């Protein structure tokens, strides 16, 4: 008898094994802050994994480790592509730019604005980086900004002076305008009103339907409930700062 291939036979999109992180505070006489110890989990295609756990437990740190903003102190992060696995913890610094442009989208808590670059160009940039022609990129960026209800009069202005919610919507447009296989969402609805929260929930549903794997932090319990396919409680795996300080 031959085994029937099933979707479960597919390797997970992302595998995290025994991931650890300690920050060494050089300005504090080399004090080490242990934030994560041997965390293991996996992320499948077409799912939204929601991180649970109290403030300071390491949720944002986990997203930053996967996005390559922080170096792991131990363990592995593996991406399984159709043509084989890629070990992110061994990736040279020069390869990260391409990986972020093509594979891992990230909505950070705060928009990192580049002075004088208008909102529309901020959203177009990841499309151009993926080789989309300028006309199509502009149309798609405008469509996404309109979908997120950013007033058209703001599109040609740099977002540095925008309100928190307006900046957050530029950030969201930049991440959702591209069909990233993996999306990391750090409080994407924190500064939004109810109507725009609904738009984000729809964008997450749409990303799930096209097969994206998402890891998200959502403080709003209603949003958390509605978007989560699975939850990952960090308490069991992580040390809070209280226990973590060691020399
Ligand atoms: N760059 C850094 N240097 C030193 N310590 C850091 C750094 N980044 C995070 N930490 C510490 O790591 C711990 C976890 O922080 P993190 O932001 O990941 O928590 P969180 O669970 O996302 O919290 P919140 O829900 O409040 O956003 C905190 O004690 C924080 O002070």
Rounded to two decimals, the ipTM of the complex is 0.96
| Pocket flag, ligand 1, residue 35 (CB < 6 Å) | yes
Q: Are strands 14-25 and 74-81 parallel, antiparallel or unpaired?
A: antiparallel
Greatest Cα-to-Cα distance within the chain, rounded to the nearest angstrom: 65
- State residue 106's pLDDT score: 94
Q: Reduced to 3 DSSP states, what percent helix, strand and coil does the chain have, rounded to the nearest 5? A: 40, 25, 35
**Count of domains observed in the chain:** 1
Which residues of the chain are under the pLDDT cut of 50? Answer: 1, 239-247
Q: Is residue 185 part of a domain?
A: yes
Q: Is residue 203 part of a domain?
A: yes
Q: Which CATH number does the domain housing residue 195 bear?
A: 3.40.50.300
Residue 59 CA to residue 64 CA, distance in Å, equals: 9
- State residue 193's pLDDT score: 93
Q: Is residue 52 part of a domain?
A: yes
| 120-136 pLDDT tens trace | 999 999 999 889 999 99
Q: Is residue 137 part of a domain?
A: yes
Q: Is residue 218 part of a domain?
A: yes
| 11-27 pLDDT tens trace | 999 999 999 999 988 88
Q: Is residue 109 part of a domain?
A: yes
Residue 146 is part of which domain span? 44-72+93-233
Q: Is residue 246 part of a domain?
A: no
Residue among 30, 31, 35, 39 to mutate when testing ligand 1 (max atoms within 8 A of CB): 35
- State residue 115's pLDDT score: 81
| Pocket flag, ligand 1, residue 58 (CB < 6 Å) | yes
Atom number, ligand 1, closest to the C-alpha of residue 187: 27
Q: Is residue 173 part of a domain?
A: yes
| Pocket flag, ligand 1, residue 33 (CB < 6 Å) | yes
**CA atoms lying within 13 Å on the CB side of residue 164:** 9
């Amino acid at each position: 008898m031959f085994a029937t291939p099933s979707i479960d036979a597919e390797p997970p999109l992302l595998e995290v094994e025994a991931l650890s992180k300690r920050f060494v505070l050089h300005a504090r006489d080399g004090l080490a802050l242990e934030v994560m110890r041997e965390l293991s989990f996996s992320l499948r295609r077409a799912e939204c994994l929601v991180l649970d756990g109290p403030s300071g437990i390491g949720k944002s740190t986990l997203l930053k480790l996967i996005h390559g903003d922080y170096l792991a102190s131990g363990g592995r992060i593996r991406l399984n592509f159709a043509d084989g696995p890629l070990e992110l913890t061994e990736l040279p610094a020069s390869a990260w730019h391409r990986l972020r442009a093509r594979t891992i989208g990230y909505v950070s808590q705060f928009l990192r604005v580049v002075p004088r670059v208008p909102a529309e160009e901020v959203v177009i940039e990841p499309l151009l980086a993926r080789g989309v022609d300028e006309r199509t990129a502009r149309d798609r960026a405008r469509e996404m900004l309109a979908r997120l209800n950013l007033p058209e009069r703001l599109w040609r202005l740099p977002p540095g002076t925008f309100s928190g919610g307006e900046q957050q919507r530029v950030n969201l447009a930049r991440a959702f305008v591209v069909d990233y296989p993996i999306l990391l969402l750090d409080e994407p609805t924190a500064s939004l009103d109810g109507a725009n929260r609904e738009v984000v929930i729809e964008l997450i549903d749409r990303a799930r339907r096209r097969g994206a794997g998402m890891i998200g932090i959502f403080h709003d319990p209603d949003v958390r409930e509605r978007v989560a396919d699975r939850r990952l409680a960090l308490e069991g795996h992580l040390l809070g700062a209280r226990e973590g300080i060691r020399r």
